[in-house]
Chain A
């Protein structure tokens, strides 16, 4: 790992503003946010609050109209090479095996070596799919597909992992398993991550810090007072419940403010 040139944070979002075609109101409306290296932050918000757009800005898939996004001190000007992205849907390629799907980021850049294969198999083993490496996506369950997608995002050993509600379509138990897998994988490599979700409990369980978004702005942010590593039992602790309630209140406040900022639907 290179030394971090910006002491303020590894990911620095500075006054980012974005609207599709200059329309009003902006989807992302002047957001400042900083993620120190190795931390996992969650963006929490209702559908349409601009959190996915902010995540795409952080990925470099779209560029801000105002403000900058810096990763490791460098301003993003296009899709970041050291960034792994996990989409809402697994977006696996149906004609490739699970293993080849994990290797896709590498095979697009160069020839796949035996070492790459070993690394991909390791990753698949880490998400519990060692035996299913040869299967095609349609032979996997939804949860297994999501695991493959997470492994694919991690194969290039990214410095930053961006996740866009990757587990939203899964059942509650599978979701909890995948959350544990994700924490383990990020913890192993000290990966910095930004996780978008509308699920309060998911945000609290995963994050070091949670930002609540509404109408394109972060209007509430708070640290999660839970120690690392996280454990299933923590989901039932008083501190967990209290944080969830705080965030829930913050989300309600968001809607209270919103009508004055948005044209009536």
Chain B
């Protein structure tokens, strides 16, 4: 707590400065609403219950996109690491799929999947896929050659070596990839909603923009940031538990 105190004080100072600037400098509320307005808007959104369905939609898209992207990325990473020939064949295509701006795929996905949650989930999964795959490939490739030789000496098969040596050894690197993926998942979900969402926090921002409600936009920023921090911390907790408990599990 004492370690966090300075950053908390900094936040309060910044908010106070912002509030003072808005009031004394007579900045139009449309350009920059004072924090007190933003908080009031946020409170009313929560109290009226308008916020919750949107939060639920974005959280669902994010969670599903993250899960699908992470699992596919992990599996793809394992395949590419285990079969170098496959890696040589598919690497350029995988890279290309990541270099296409995902946002640009949005309109196409709407044609394919309609206006529901699906296009956003697909975009989120595409974004989350890459860090998991990259970190899995890196983690598996970095396994100590002496330990591989040990497993060869002990007569371990390919699958055994993967499950008993390579994956456990690569786990810290893979989980670091998951942490990156969580942050990207939020970007994926919100930006995906910009393009085709009818509901969700990203869609709400577009809706607020159309009525020039900048204090609502700021309120939504706060919600999105809080959601991201919550999930990031959740993954950190998972990481600590897995890395600590994996040997016995």
Contacts and interface: CB of A to CB of B under 8 A. Distances in A.
A96 interface: yes
A91 B247 contact: no
Interface string A88-100: 1101011111001
A136 interface: yes
A100 B246 CA distance: 13
Interface string A129-173: 000000010000000000000000000000000000000000000
A87 B247 contact: no
B160 A61 contact: no
B155 interface: yes
Interface string A58-75: 010100000000000000
A91 B155 contact: no
Main secondary structure of the interface of B (DSSP, over half): helix
Given A87-B146, A91-B146, A104 B168 contact: no
B144 interface: yes
Given A91-B147, A108-B160, A59 B168 contact: no
B173 to A, nearest CB: 14
B153 A108 contact: no
Given A93-B165, A95-B168, A87 B160 contact: no
Contact of B155 (A96, A97, A109): A109
A88 B146 contact: yes
B155 A79 contact: yes
Interface string B141-170: 000101101111111100010001100110
Q: How large is the interface on A (under 10, 10 to 19, 20 to 34, 35 or more residues)?
A: 20 to 34
A74 to B, nearest CB: 16
A217 B164 CA distance: 38
Nearest to B161: A108
A142 to B, nearest CB: 15
Contacts of B247: 95-97, 100, 136
Nearest to A85: B153
A108 B164 contact: yes
B247 to A, nearest CB: 4
A184 B247 CA distance: 32
Interface in B201-223: none
A81 interface: yes
A103 B168 CA distance: 17
Contacts of B147: 91, 93
B152 A91 contact: no
Nearest to B157: A108
B149 A108 contact: no
A91 B153 CA distance: 12
B167 to A, nearest CB: 11
Interface in B108-155: 144, 146-147, 149-155
Contacts of B153: 59, 61, 79, 83, 85
B246 A95 contact: yes
B159 to A, nearest CB: 11
Contacts of A109: 155
B211 to A, nearest CB: 55
Contacts of A136: 247
Contacts of B165: 93
A105 interface: yes
A156 to B, nearest CB: 9
A104 B146 contact: no
Nearest to B248: A97
Given A95-B246, A108-B164, A61 B152 contact: yes
Nearest to A95: B247
B154 A87 contact: no
A59 B152 CA distance: 10
Contacts of A85: 150, 153
Contact of B156 (A59, A95, A97, A108): A108
A81 B154 CA distance: 7
Across the A-B interface, give the 10 residue pairs with the lowest CB-CB distance, nearest first: A95-B247, A85-B153, A91-B146, A108-B156, A105-B154, A79-B153, A91-B150, A91-B147, A95-B168, A108-B154
8 contacts: A59-B153, A79-B152, A87-B150, A91-B150, A93-B147, A93-B169, A95-B246, A109-B155
